[in-house]
Structure 1
Amino acid sequence: MKRSAFSFLLHGFQIFHCHPLLGFDPIYYLSRRCTIQRLYSLGSINTRPFPDYSPKKPAIKDTEFVHHISTTIKQRRSEPLRRILKPYELKFKPDHLIWVLMYIKNDYKLVLDFFNWARLRRDPTLEALCIVVQIAVASKDLKMAHKLIHEFWAKPNLDVNSSFAHFTERLIYTYKDWGADPHVFDLFFQVLVEAGMLVEAGKLFDKLLNYGVLVTVDSCNLFLTRLSNNFDGIKMALKVFNEYPEVGVFWNTTSYNIILHSLCQLGKIKEAHSLLTQMELRGHMPDVVSYSTVISGYCQVGQLERVLKLIEEMQRKGLNPNQYTYNNIILLLCKSGKVAEAEKVLREMTIQGIFPDNVVYTTLISGFCKSGRISAAYKFFDEMRNKKIFPDFVTYTAMLHGFCETGKMDEAHKLFNEMISRGLEADEVTYSALIDGYCKAGEMKEAFSLHNQMVKMVLTPNVVTYTSLVDGLCKRGEVDIANELLHQMAAKGLQPNVYTYNTIINGLCKIGNIVQAVKLMEEMELAGLYPDTITYTTLMDAYCKIGEMAKAHGLLQVMLNKGLQPTVVTFNVLMNGFCMSGMLEDGERLLKWMLEKGIMPNTTTFNSLMKQYCIRNNMSATTQIYKGMRAQGVMPDSNTYNILIKGHCKVRNMKEAWYLHKEMVEKGFSLSATSYNALIKGFYKRKKFAEARQLFEEMRRQGFAAEKEIYDIFLDVNYQEGNLDITLELCDEAIEKCLVGELQKGNTS
């Protein structure tokens, strides 16, 4: 038969890509297959008929032998085959199997029984296997057919290339006369995909097109799913999705959901969203999975507004979010620090009849702990247990970490014991969190005890563990011991990281040993670790505190030369240094430079300048800085208000001081003890006795100690008014808070 131009093209392609030296490129083949499909759709290839089955003819003696077996198993079908066929075993050959099947093919149960008997004696031929598969499919026993095909492809040391060609050929050859049910090819396609033989599945798809057979959409969906298991496969899945319809594959909602997931995996969330909107136009209604997939994609990239809009759209279409959707939204909100909103979603989820699981509760607990809201986190922890949702190792660790971060070590200790009593084993992360908590609380004995316990449990302390211990020792001023621990850590093969070095440098700076701190920074570089912004900022702060502003400024220049970006903390350190050294003009120049460079100062930056101008009684300059701060959109904090109030009181501008006091209270800020003292003295000197008395009573309710001068004022006032009980009460309070306090300070110094 004359070959078409297309057959030559295909033949040449197969020769080139199956060459043993060149190897076979599956992605290229799958791409070329899409070209083949287009040719089919354009009518360039005509479908061919399935071949007639013409088996090998049996000899006369074989015919008689087969007849005897067939008659025997039909007549004595209630008896075990192993018994009734015992006389025939020695003479039974593979060809006999097919010839017997011809006699009994309409009796499916007998076919299976006889086939199983035969293959226990010797392996059936590929042709016989395909015949039984065809009969099983024709008898609607797809499960058995699938099992038989799978068993063939699960054989060890199978030559895939030759086996695929032979199996496909035999399945096509036996099709017309033994079953003629196209589901047989669908099952073969599925088995190939399940076995990860995606290239062979693609070849089968093409081969079947020759015979006008199209694989079902469910099988194609399986193909899309398996293709999507890796990055290159996802690209091919997208190509298949776009081009299969050209040969008649009609995708369904499941198909779209697979592709939506693939696009999200590639980070193409906008494209996924666009496809979601196109589904309905293409005649496919998006379901909960469709929306949840795109919502999950937007959650991964933190686009909360898009998520909320999609949820509204879902609900307008009568679709309620499922647990997967809610889980993703709660995770995104917690990552964004919007834990209150995450809790609302949890409650909404419950109202919808979807009950949160361990994962949701753990996400919320972790989110609330990271936001510092430990009580709320523990409320969820209790809620879990009350609902018989048992916290796992991750849940306990999140809660422990929260207690440790907020210094609630008694609660952490109790929870740790509870975790162990429930049979949950702590790992390095759990122990490190506890050790860090004890170190931050200054309880180094407990921290080292846990370290020793960890070692006994055959758990290896890591860099984080040792860094916490080093930090705790440094905060106690035990820098030499910390340095020794650093060397022990290195001896165990653990390489200190930048944070470890920064911890010791900070400790050295706190005890005034800046020379050793600088030396350690040089050692960092020799060890291949480069000082970061925190390293330089720590040293700059140390220089600023001893008034070495030139050295501090020099370190800033070194940072910039090395390409390190200073943070606002770095500039605040410099600003504080300039202000403490009385170099306010330099401080103002630094502020101006920051604004010119687009580095936004924070409240601390402005507070440093305002404080020093207040000390100098220059309230005009202070007010200008405050106005500039507000103009930049930087909001005042509690410290800002206290600085301004004390400054205005000092220059007896009580009207402005009282206005600022009212404003800060409205914003939820509290006066400091020194601000109360300043306001009370200021009002008293201006003969505003009612205001002074009101503030004094308020100060006492807050638990603050007034200055001795203020106690003297109100002792006299109450004595003169005849309030002897209050006078005596104030005497006792003054003795306790002023005289005893002064004595304690003296003993400490």
Structure 2
Amino acid sequence: MKRLTIFSFYRFQSSSHRPFLSLAVNSSLFFFRRCISHGLSSGSTNTRPFPDYSPKRPTINDSELVQRISNTIKLRCSEPLRRILKPYESQFRSDHLIWVLMNIKNDYKLVLDFYDWACLRRDPTLESRCVVVQIAAASKDLKTAHELIHKFWAKPKLDVSVSFTHFADRLIYTYKDWGSDPHVFDVFFQVIVESGMLNEARKLFDKLLSYGLVISVDSCNLFLTLLSSTFDGIDMAIKFFNEYYEVGVHWNTASYNIIIHSLCRLGKIKEAHHLLLQMELRGCIPDVVSYSTLISRYCYDGELQKVLKLIEEMKIKGLKPNAYTYNSIILLLCKTGKLSEAEVILREMMALGVLPDNVVYTTLIDGFCKMGNIQAACRLFDEMRLRKVIPDYITYTAIIHGFCQTGKMAEADNLFHEMVSRGLEPDEVTYTALIDGYCKVGEMKEAFSLHNQMVSMGLSPNVVTYTALADGLCKRGEVDIANELLQEMCRKGLQLNVFTYNSIVNGLCKSGNIAQAEKLMEQMQVAGPHPDTVTYTTLMDAYCKIREMAKAHNVLREMLDRGLQPTVVTFNVLMNGFCMSGMLEDGERLLKWMLEKGIVPNAGTYNSLMKQYCIRNNMRTTTDMYRSMCAGGVVPDNNTYNILIKGHCKARNMKEAWFLHKEMAGKGFIPTASCYSALIKGLFKKRKFAEARELFEEMRRHGVVADRETYNIFVDMNYEEGNMDITLELCDEVIENCLVAKPKNEDT
């Protein structure tokens, strides 16, 4: 079979195609199989021959004019055509173009110059355009051939179906005598594919096959890519791929990757994996893209074990995972809360010489921020900039949101201004994160100032923005203003949702207006949206905090009666209520019941119980509970370690406290100020001065502010040792942090 050679001078952009309508993929399968069974080699008698070229004959007068023009441009080729052909302009017609081209076709530059001159004076005929395209292809100038065809399809009000038929026929008609270079059909196929004419592309493929020509695999890949760019076209692309393999198209690795990606988009991961296995049997070697595409889909489906198996296969085959591969795995681990494992993958990636990009770092930073570990997020953010990986507005927004969630508004504000100074434009999400942060710390003036700035920037506050503002107002007891804000939302056409109402219920509860919160819930039951699990859990939490456990039980009962399922947060609220009320036995019974019912507790569930046992100095029960928690697959959080360390310090179990601190640091958590102080004072009492000093310096490096008593220990120690510079430096810190400014990083 005579095949077109592969080339890739085009640039494909999927956004340039028009919407895909339909493609009859099965229409000529029988014809293809019949052709293949009889043979389609260039010498086969079963293929159609290309027609002989027989143009219109010129008159005697036309022949004389064509001869004069041909001689003039050949003899005076160094002069501008517009000057030397001036005498012939009035007599020149479109028909003359082809007749002149016959005389000069061996001088490619002259052909292009004359064609450009002619086009400025008369619209070229379709036949003459095809002739020049043939000459360009034969001269290996495929870029010009591509441009000449593309200009034809760029004409306004073009009847695509009719024009395609005419163009294809003219190109076939001029092929034999004007070029005979099969690349010309590859170029034509690419142009119509890039123009979104997928039906016509398929017709051209069929037509050329009858002449014994097969479009190159690169051009077929372009067709597959465009076809699979919409969900409607994916099935068609898969059928095209399967059918043309059967009739002899030798697909390459890029072809398989397109179909594997298409199958993964459809969620057909088993079929995609099977195709990967089939590649080698069909003579194609899977590359890093093949594996990365599968890995990405398995990560999306949460299939970590299959991902790890594929990574091992890649290593055996000598394939090096790329940033895209690792990012998929890191994203999966972050989604499942396995941030420590995700960072291990990052370090492995870097050890193999794969440099993490902005996306990888941002994924990890966002994951740590959502877990509340802002210190680890900041460490990665600093590392990112140190490695010259430029953070974008998404990176900044993630870490700004993390600071806002932990109430560190000064740090969030500094990052916001740094972001703007670097020319990055904040969006609605960035502004809303800051507004929500200021609302949470009760600084409503700053929140509304940001709201006004946001509007002046042309950004539209959304439901989340207004919900944050309403929540902040309710927490300050300014319920009437919050209601006015909600009315403004309605006037702007924003639909109040259950999240908005939940925020107001939460604000009312936080400000002590529980009766008003209950009244609002009654209105929700009547007018909608109906209260959900979060609404009831919020009200339960309010009653638990004022130790009204009977009323909290009633709310839970009403919630269950309405068919709403409690979440682990609901049970944590109840657990916290029991513990705060000193009802530890009830708390233990609740934990046992949760485990029996298959309700998986989280770190917060255990933290409430462990905190109370630590307060009672019952470290044996606390330790047993911690071991049970870990054995059950519950990952300790920052609060877990702070509770345990302070408990062991109080019980003077400094060895256990020191071990837990090391474990905590290994997971990227940073102790609170009170936790550091407990450790330092405990070690100091045990006369472990070196360890106490090490912790104090670590505390200062992390920016955690010590209390005055802790500062006094080291001021006295350094003074006695004669370290006056350090002594004076610590005295300045005491004045700045403990006497002048409000201490940062206070325990809540």
Please indicate, yes or no, whether the TM-score normalized by the shorter chain is above 0.5. yes
| CA distance in structure 1 between the partners assigned to 2:351 and 2:590 by the alignment | 55
Q: How does 1:53-452 map to 2 (within 5 A)?
A: 53-452=53-452
The one-letter code of the counterpart of 1:324 is Y
Q: Is the 8 A contact 1:409 1:437 kept in 2?
A: yes
Structure number with higher relative contact order (C-alpha < 8 Å, ≥ 6 residues apart)? 2
Between 1:328-337 and 1:496-505, the stretch displaced more is 328-337
1:230 is displaced (CA, Å) by 0.5
1:198 to partner: Cα distance: 0.8
Q: Is the 8 A contact 1:595 1:601 kept in 2?
A: yes
Stretch of structure 1 that moved more, 279-288 or 184-193: 279-288
AA partner of residue 295 (structure 1): I
Q: For residue 640 of structure 1, report the CA deviation from its aligned partner.
A: 10
Aligned to 2:540: 540
Measured in 1, the distance between the counterparts of 2:646 and 2:298 equals 45
Superposition pairs of residues 634-653 of structure 1, within 5 angstroms:
none
Higher mean C-alpha deviation, range 381-390 or range 114-123: 381-390
Separation (CA, whole Å) in 2 of partners of 1:244 and 1:538: 61
Does the 8 Å CA contact 2:23/2:236 hold for their aligned counterparts?
no
What is the identity, as a one-letter code, of the residue corresponding to 1:358?
Answer: N
Larger radius of gyration: 1
**Further displaced range: 576-585 or 162-171:** 576-585
Judging changes above 3 Å, is the alpha-carbon distance between structure 1 residues 69 and 303 closer, same or farther for their aligned structure 2 residues?
same
TM-score (norm 2): 0.75
Q: Residues 30 and 630 (structure 1 numbering): CA distance in 2 closer, same or farther, change over 3 Å?
A: closer
Please name the residue that 1:740 is paired with.
Answer: none
1:40 equivalenced with 2:53 (yes/no): no
The Cα shift of 1:61 comes to 2.5
Question: Any conservation in 2 of the 1:607–1:639 contact (CA below 8 Å)?
Answer: no
Q: C-alpha displacement at 1:566, in angstroms? A: 1.1
| CA deviation vs aligned residue, 1:26-63 (integer Å, no higher than 9, x gap) | 53523324444234334499421111222222223323
Q: In 2 relative to 1, CA 121–557 (structure 1 residues): closer, same or farther, beyond 3 Å?
A: same
The CA deviation at 1:167 is 1.0
In the TM superposition, what is the alpha-carbon distance from 1:597 to its structure 2 partner? Answer: 4.3
Deviation at 1:221, TM superposition (A): 1.2
Q: Secondary structure at the match of 2:22?
A: helix
> Structure 1 pair 63/343, CA: closer, same or farther in 2 (3 Å)?
same
Task: Answer yes or no: is the 8 Å Cα contact 1:641–1:661 preserved in 2.
Answer: no
SS of residue in 1 equivalent to 2:270: helix
Q: 1:55 to 1:268 in 2, by over 3 A?
A: same
**In the alignment, is the contact (CA less than 8 A) between 2:339 and 2:364 conserved in 1?**
yes
| Residues 397/165 of structure 1: CA separation in 2 closer, same or farther (3 Å cut) | same
Post-superposition offset of 1:97: 1.8
Letter in 2 for 1:37: F
Q: Partner of 1:363: helix, strand, or coil?
A: helix
- CA change 1:62–1:406 in 2 (3 A) is same
Residue 530 (structure 1) aligns with: 530
Q: Which moved more, 1:533-542 or 1:196-205?
A: 533-542
| 1:38 partner letter | R
* 1:528-581: CA deviation from partner (whole Å, max 9, x where unpaired): 312110111223344566777676545434433433211133345556768989
**Does the 8 Å CA contact 1:641/1:664 hold for their aligned counterparts?**
yes
Deviations 1:593-627 (A, max 9, x none): 656643345677689899999999xxxx9999999
Residues 407 and 440, structure 1, Cα contact 8 Å, conserved in 2: yes
Distance in 1 (CA, whole Å) between partners of 2:658 and 2:482 is 44
SS in 2 for 1:320: coil
Distance 2:430 2:572 in 1: 35
Change (3 A) 1:623 1:207: closer
For structure 2, the residue ranges without an aligned partner over 5 or more in a row are 1-18, 41-45, 665-670, 675-684, 697-705, 709-748
The equivalent residue for 2:556 is: 556
Partner residue, 1:743: none
Residue 24 of structure 2 is aligned with which of 26, 29, 36?
29
CA separation of 1:218/1:448 partners in 2, compared to 1, >3 Å: closer, same or farther? Answer: closer
- CA–CA separation in structure 2 for the residues paired with 1:587 and 1:175: 87
Per the alignment, do residues 663 and 409 of structure 1 end up closer, same or farther by CA in structure 2, a change over 3 Å counting? Answer: same
Match of 2:743 in 1: none
Q: Distance in 2 between matches of 1:563 and 1:642?
A: 41
Contact 2:454 2:461 in 1 (8 A): yes
Pairwise CA distance, 1:445:
4.0
CA contact (8 A) 2:82 2:117 kept: yes
Q: 1:227 Cα deviation (Å)?
A: 0.9
Q: Secondary structure at the match of 1:297?
A: helix
Which consecutive residues of structure 1, in runs of 5 or more, have no partner in the other structure? 1-23, 650-656, 674-692, 706-749
CA displacement, residues 74-120 of structure 1 (integer Å, 9 cap, x when unaligned):
33333332233222222222222222222232332332222222222
The 3-state SS of whatever aligns with 2:91 is: coil
Q: Given the superposition, is the C-alpha separation of residues 374 and 279 from structure 1 closer, same or farther in structure 2, using an over 3 Å criterion? A: same
2:110 is aligned with what amino acid? Answer: L
Q: Which residue of 1 aligns with 2:722?
A: none
Retained in 2: the 8 A contact 1:611–1:643? no
Between the aligned partners of 2:370 and 2:573, the Cα distance in structure 1 is 26
Q: How does 1:653-668 map to 2 (within 5 A)?
A: none
**Aligned counterpart, 1:713:** none
Deviation at 1:472, TM superposition (A): 3.1
Q: Percent identity?
A: 70
Q: Does structure 1 retain, via aligned residues, the 8 Å contact 2:23–2:199?
A: no
Structure 1 residue 202, shift from structure 2 partner: 0.2
SS at match of 1:565: coil
Change in 2 beyond 3 A, CA 1:609/1:151: closer
Q: Cα RMSD (Å) of the superposition?
A: 4.6
The question of whether the paired residues in 2 share the 8 Å contact of 1:576 and 1:608 is answered with yes
Q: Are residues 586 and 30 of structure 1, via their aligned partners in 2, closer, same or farther at CA, if it must alter by over 3 Å?
A: same
Q: Is the 8 A contact 1:403 1:409 kept in 2?
A: yes
For 1:394-452, what per-residue CA distance to the aligned partner results, in whole angstroms no more than 9, with x for missing partners? 22222222222222222222222323333433333222222222232333443344334
Instruction: Give the conservation status (yes or no) of the 8 Å contact 1:193–1:223.
Output: yes
CA contact (8 A) 2:25 2:239 kept: no
Residue by residue over 1:472-527, the C-alpha shift from the partner in whole angstroms, topping out at 9 and shown as x without a partner, is 34444554554454445445544433223223223333455433222201222445
Partner of 2:702: none
Using the alignment, how far apart are the partners of 1:635 and 1:100 within structure 2?
Answer: 83
Give the drift of 1:641.
8.2
Task: Please give the alpha-carbon distance, in whole angstroms, between the structure 1 residues aligned to 2:374 and 2:545.
Answer: 35
Which amino acid is the alignment partner of residue 236 of structure 1? M
